[in-house]
Structure 1
Amino acid sequence: MDGLADLSVQLLGQKDDISWWQMCVRAGLILLFGLALVRVAGKRVFGKWGAIDIILSVIIGSNLSRALTGTAPFWETLLATTLLVALHAALVALATHVRPLGPLLKGNPVRIVQNGEPDHKAMRRHGIGEHDLEEALREGGVLDCKDVAEAWVERNGDISVIKR
């Protein structure tokens, strides 16, 4: 085991003693590791962002940058990051079976139009401007809000439009 540890120190350096080429080795390993994590985690983590997805991506980025610069132990940081991805997968899977967990992790949809009338208070609360609503209506094949039965800001941030 000491031989493997020595090889690791030789290739990756240590906390306060990392050469430019060791930083390059770290960068290559982290890129490969990050790609593997994204493939394992699936498109959902980085496709349609829920609260848990945003938090996970920030933590992954932070962890991997610390491993790259040597401000955190390399292998231990990769292991901890792998654990976070596994916890994310477990929580998302659990949320599909435990109904109250879904809104906690992913949020709730919010109605912003009902019977052709925009709910300006709900729109402001969720950062939806008039232009955003008009764009969503056009994407939904509607030109006038009066032709909308309901419009919702979905849990992933998309706006769904239901015609009258």
Structure 2
Amino acid sequence: MFDMSLPWWEFVLRGAMVYLVMLAMVRVSGKRTVGQFTPFDLLVVMLLSEAVSNGLSGGDESVPGGLIVAATLVALNMLIALGTSHSSRIEAILEGREVLLGRNGKIFDDVLKAQRISRNELDNAFHKMDVSYEEMECVILEADGTINILKKR
């Protein structure tokens, strides 16, 4: 239970590698993955966690090994949070920027496609905010994946 089959530094290295690769994969997958999980997105996240679990531990089932990996993941998360809070450039790279999806009642279909947002998702956002397309001044896809709609004055 307490005997590690790998040196402590390998747990740190494995945790850091898996964290950074998974961060890049989530970032590349788009804003919707982060902000608006569909059942399929949730399934992918669950399967990803299972897929990388052995990569994190290297087959080691010891308590210290698991705690070292967990501490590494938490430390990396804290470092990234610190970096994004101090640098807008790092924030833009890791979290992205907002994207204009439409203006003055006109939706930019090419931008919707590029951001992998369906017209149905957009319609749902309009419905939730009780705004019609004619009343819309602009529609913004936020960096966290939420859709905000500003009404005309």
1:8 partnered with 2:5: no
1:72 partnered with 2:60: yes
How many residues are treated as equivalent by the alignment?
A: 115
Greater relative contact order, per chain length (Cα 8 Å cut-off, separation 6+): 2
Asked if the contact 2:57–2:65 (Cα under 8 Å) also holds between the matched residues in 1, the reply is: no
Give the counterpart of 2:95 among 103, 106, 109.
106
* Residues 83 and 69 of structure 1: CA distance in aligned 2, closer, same or farther (over 3 Å): closer
1:89 partnered with 2:78: yes
Higher Cα Rg, which structure:
1
Shift of residue 141, structure 1, vs aligned partner: 1.6
Note the aligned Cα RMSD (angstroms). Answer: 3.3
1:42 corresponds in structure 2 to none
TM-score between the two structures when normalised by the length of structure 1: 0.58
**Identity within the alignment, %:** 20
2:28 corresponds in structure 1 to none
* Residues 95 and 134 of structure 1: CA distance in aligned 2, closer, same or farther (over 3 Å): same
1:150 corresponds in structure 2 to 138
Q: Gaps spanning 5+ residues in structure 1: where?
A: 1-6, 16-47, 51-56
Q: Which 4+ residue blocks in structure 1 deviate beyond 2 angstroms?
A: 60-70, 72-78
TM-score between the two structures when normalised by the length of structure 2: 0.61
Question: How far, CA to CA, are the matches of 2:85 and 2:58 in structure 1?
Answer: 38
